[in-house]
Amino acid sequence: MRTAIATAPATVANVGPGFDVLGLCLEEPRDRVRAELTADGRVELVAVEGDEGRLSRVAAENCAGVAAQAVLERFGAAGSGVRLWLDKGLPLGSGLGSSAASAVAAALATARLVCPEVPKEALLDACREGERLATGSPHPDNVAPSLLGGLVACLPGAGEAVEVVRLALPAGLHVVCVKPDVEVRTADARRVMPAAIPVADVVRTLAAMAGLVTALASGDLELAGRCLDDRVATPYRRALIPGYDAVMEALLRAGAVGGGISGSGPTVFALAGDRECARRAADAMVEAFATAGHAAMALVSAVDPSGARLEP
């Protein structure tokens, strides 16, 4: 096999109280990477499209290139290299896991060429190297759901190791993501968080996390809504999102289960029991952003159960 194409979807990280732990996978949008096998031992980023020229074309400075390099180092035969073409389907700086989707698509396409026997799960660390470059932190909660699909919890292991656990979701659950016309860089959103969080806020967030996981597994949407409560990141980040409080009120009024900041923002997500309700929440959220003076785009998706995939 000389060429491979992979796509990797957008994700909602944190999912309320699960800062750097929970993430869920959307069906769309997706980044797409075509990889071509070479014998020069290098990673070359031949072209990037869909980014309005904003991402580095130098492989070592682009999360797709870095993730591909990490796959070669871990699994490639000596001398194998790849040329990459990256097509961005995700908006940059949106809180939808844009850097993660590029890293995952590049890792999967590269792995198809150099180590097709390696299971997807084993590519996680290589994908996290792309995230480390893009955001300054190898947090796993975007790359893991983009790679594997579903709702996942990323459990810290020894050193920087991460164990991914798949969590249950109620049938019919839909996700709304509404992105206003502002950008927030993940590195900046991490910088606004203090080094120490008050114990009472941590306790409340831990309780919400336990409640959310249980509620989603049992299908108790009312409890899930109450548990979409984060006191670790949201209090410090909400100021980066114009109209945040009004958007949250609007999604609840429209009947959504609850919501919060998607990843590091500015996208706000909502969970809804069915597609109809999700559509109503999306309209209400867009309107609330408009009232706050910002155009916004909405997407409604089921949770994608399988994540990144190879194209035939």
What residues are annotated to the active site?
131, 186
Among 87, 141, 230, 304, binds ligand HSE (CB under 6 A): 141
CB of 16 to ligand HSE, least distance (A): 11
Among 185, 190, 204, 279, binds ligand HSE (CB under 6 A): 190
Gap between the Cα atoms of 229 and 5, Å rounded: 39
Q: Is 62 in the site for ligand HSE (CB under 6 A)?
A: no
Single-letter amino acid, residue 83: R
Among 16, 93, 130, 263, binds ligand HSE (CB under 6 A): 263
Window contacting ligand HSE (CB under 6 A); options: 186-194, 196-204, 221-229, 283-291: 186-194
Nearer to ligand HSE among residue 96 and residue 221 (C-beta): 96
Q: Partners of 153 in the beta sheet?
A: 22, 165
Q: Is 142 in the site for ligand HSE (CB under 6 A)?
A: yes
Window contacting ligand HSE (CB under 6 A); options: 139-147, 171-179, 204-212, 281-289: 139-147
Q: Is 139 in the site for ligand HSE (CB under 6 A)?
A: yes
Q: Return the residues of window 94-123 that contact ligand HSE according to CB under 6 A.
A: 95, 97
CB of 277 to ligand HSE, least distance (A): 25
Window contacting ligand HSE (CB under 6 A); options: 38-46, 63-71, 182-190, 290-298: 182-190
The C-alpha angle 92, 97, 170, rounded to 5 degrees, equals 140
Contacts of 225 (CB under 8 A, 6+ apart): 252, 256, 257, 258, 271
Q: Do 304 and 149 form a contact (C-beta atoms < 8 A)? A: yes
Q: Which of 304, 141, 159 is nearest to 230 (CA)?
A: 141
Contact pattern from residue 224 through residue 243 relative to ligand HSE, giving x for each residue in contact according to CB under 6 A and a dash for the rest: ---------x----------
Nearer to ligand HSE among residue 193 and residue 223 (C-beta): 193
CB of 57 to ligand HSE, least distance (A): 23
C-beta neighbour count of 122 within 10 angstroms: 14
Contact pattern from residue 6 through residue 25 relative to ligand HSE, giving x for each residue in contact according to CB under 6 A and a dash for the rest: -------xx----xx-----
Q: Partners of 37 in the beta sheet?
A: 82
Gap between the Cα atoms of 46 and 48, Å rounded: 7
Residues of the shown chain interacting with ligand HSE in the complex, contacts defined by CB under 6 A: 13-14, 19-20, 95, 97, 139, 141-142, 186, 189-190, 233, 263-264
